[in-house]
Amino acid sequence: MGKLTIDGREVEFRQGQTIIEAATDSGIDIPHFCWHPSLSVSGNCRVCLVEIEKMPKLAIACATVAAEGMVVHTKSDKALSARNAVMEFILINHPLDCPICDEAGECKLQDYAYNHSTGEGRFTEEKQHKDKRVELGPYVMFDAERCISCSRCIRFCDEVAQETELTFVKRGDRVTITTFPGKQLDNPYSLNVTDICPVGALTNRDFRFKSRVWDMSSTQSVCSGCSRGCNIDIWVRKNEILRLTPRHNEQVNSYWMCDHGRLDTFKEVNSESRIIAPMLRRDGTLMQANWSEAVAHITSEFKAFSSDEIGVIGSAHATLEDNYLLAKFAKEILKTKNVAMPSHIKHGTADKILITEDKSPNALGAKLMGITSENFAVIMHAIETGKIKALYVMEEDLVALDHKFEAILAKLDFLVVHSVVKNATTALANVVLPAASYAEKNGTWVNINGMAQRIRPAVATQELDRSLDGMSLSRLDKFGTNFDRWGQVNKIDARPSWSFITMLFNSFGHKLKFKMAEEVFHDVAKHVKEFHGLDYDVMGNQGAKISLVAEKV
């Protein structure tokens, strides 16, 4: 550990750190475009020029290694005028696109133009014109005029995605980004370039023009696409998810997430096929019912079966809290040992970056709650042979896993299914319960490495109130009223699975008083040794490693 002085403040640094790294670690912000903490140093934007005493010229903070006793000034006259000159230079050929640019509102160039430039340009000539709508790949759109040639996108592909796809071509003010001949920007992580591009040159084609960033709320959550559990922000406007972006967590996903997680995991939440109310099968057809009818019906039906005739299927897509109460329900009320969950492992689909083989976010968590995938096949076989006559399925579409199951499930006398959307399994059910999706409830997932991480509601269901339940609010949520058209959002009457199971417990005469997922988690922390000492505050927004004492992962 050495010490240097930045703007009169003494700052510690590790051997080999650059000035900008040392500054960032101690919370001092040195303006930068091309430098990124997780990419190599390129040093081309020159915005991080700082004055260092005893050095004849200004130096770039991103490429100058910190040394003992160094005295750095980031706000001296010399540094400020250099920064202003760099800003003026970058803006020479930058179009006045902010009104039509998706980046506006979260644009580094906009911010710096306000904070680090005098706002005066002397360039009166015609700006350099370039291509404005270039499809670099299936998901990314490129606007060459807005590019400030920082090379972050190129370095990302080379270093993080490990696919050489992008490069600079031409020189001087005509320099631009393009893909190599015969290549596309189509690596599985391609959309991360839209996050790290400091300007609006690279935009997400799936999100383009859907909303202004200042009109959305963002909620800290976790991606449901695989067992990595990348940390994400869920961006919502008018109770509809519009995009997901990765959230920094060095222990899990660094700054990145994969395109599949970003694009394919949230569409279900706002889909047309959401189940909007509990349904009971009457005379062969599923009819809408209310929650207490559903509870009463399930209670009376299950009483007609012996414990051996009942099976219970949990889910690695559901939360720890859901699986905990389901396992407890199976053990204490139904008194059955036929409990399992299907596995979502797809062999050979993992890579060395983030994507894992297990396409569910909480397999380890469910396992620790006592629900494993080992005897799933046994249960399905028992249904086929008629030993199991009643099945309780939580948040799994069994038919989608294997079409054989359609005929097998049809043999059941009684089938209860919790599900977010209508599917081939709910079509066979006697009782269908609308489950709150991962974006509509609090809960915990445990990732492949044993990181217990919280998910939070970003979309309101009928039982949730954005402000009363502490959900994040957008500008419109804060100031709108129910009389505004944009205030009249579509809220679904879905409930988290743990909350419905609590109702069942009570209906079976077993008092349970859980009102919040957090209370269920307290119970988990008390009874499951891996979770001792954890609670929602300890997990916070960066997660907490569980103690895998006996477990080998």
Partner 1 sequence: MAEKKRLKDLTLWEKMYVPEVVKGLKSTMKQMFQPRFTMEYPEVKFEPVGSYRGRPVLVMEAGGEERCVACGLCSRVCPALAIEVQAGETDREKERYPEKFEINMLRCIFCGLCEEVCPEEAIVMSKDYELTFSNREDAIYGKDKLLKPITELQDRIDFLRSNK
d(CA 218, CA 416): 34
| Chain residues 104-123 in contact with partner 1, contact rule CB under 8 A | 104
Decide if residue 482 touches partner 1 (CB under 8 A).
no
Phi-psi region of 125 (alpha: psi -120 to 50; beta: other; left: phi over 0): beta
> Could you tell me how many residues make up the chain?
553
Sheet holding 202-204, edge to edge: 134-135, 140-142, 202-204
**In terms of DSSP bridges, do strands 59-60 and 71-73 run parallel, antiparallel, or are they unpaired?**
unpaired
CB 201 → partner 1: shortest distance, Å?
14
Contact 236, 474 (CB under 8 A): yes
Q: Residue 518: which H helix or E strand, with range?
A: helix 517-527
Which listed range, 164-172, 189-197, 379-387, 472-480, lies at the site for partner 1 (CB under 8 A)? 472-480
d(CA 111, CA 198): 10
Q: 């058209």: which residue's tokens?
A: 485
Site map for ligand SF4, 175-214, x if CB under 6 A? --x-------------------xxxxxx------------
Nearest to 39 by CA among 149, 155, 147: 155
C-beta atoms surrounding 31 within 10 Å: 21
User: Which residue type, as a one-letter code, is found at position 534?
Assistant: L
CB 257 → partner 1: shortest distance, Å?
24
* Binding test (CB under 6 A) with ligand SF4, winner from 32, 46, 73, 146: 146
* Binding test (CB under 8 A) with partner 1, winner from 214, 427, 506, 529: 214
- Rank residues 217 and 453 by Cβ distance to partner 1 and give the closer one: 217
Q: 């009102």: which residue's tokens?
A: 515
| Chain residues 63-102 in contact with partner 1, contact rule CB under 8 A | 98-100
* Binding test (CB under 6 A) with ligand SF4, winner from 149, 190, 323, 423: 149
CB 234 → partner 1: shortest distance, Å?
20
Which of partner 1, ligand SF4, none has residue 148 at its interface (CB below 5 to 8 Å by kind)? ligand SF4
CB 185 → partner 1: shortest distance, Å?
19
Decide if residue 486 touches partner 1 (CB under 8 A).
yes
Decide if residue 133 touches partner 1 (CB under 8 A).
yes
Residues ≥6 apart with Cβ < 8 Å to 350 = 356, 357
Distances (CA, A) of 521 to 15, 46, 396, 421, 539: 42, 49, 22, 26, 11
Count H helices and E strands in the chain, helices first: 16, 23
- Rank residues 95 and 246 by Cβ distance to partner 1 and give the closer one: 95
* Binding test (CB under 6 A) with ligand SF4, winner from 153, 380, 459, 501: 153
Which parts of this chain interact with partner 1 (CB under 8 A)? 98-100, 104, 132-133, 208-212, 214-215, 475-476, 479-480, 483-486
Which parts of this chain interact with ligand SF4 (CB under 6 A)? 94, 97-99, 101, 103-104, 107, 109-110, 146-153, 177, 197-202
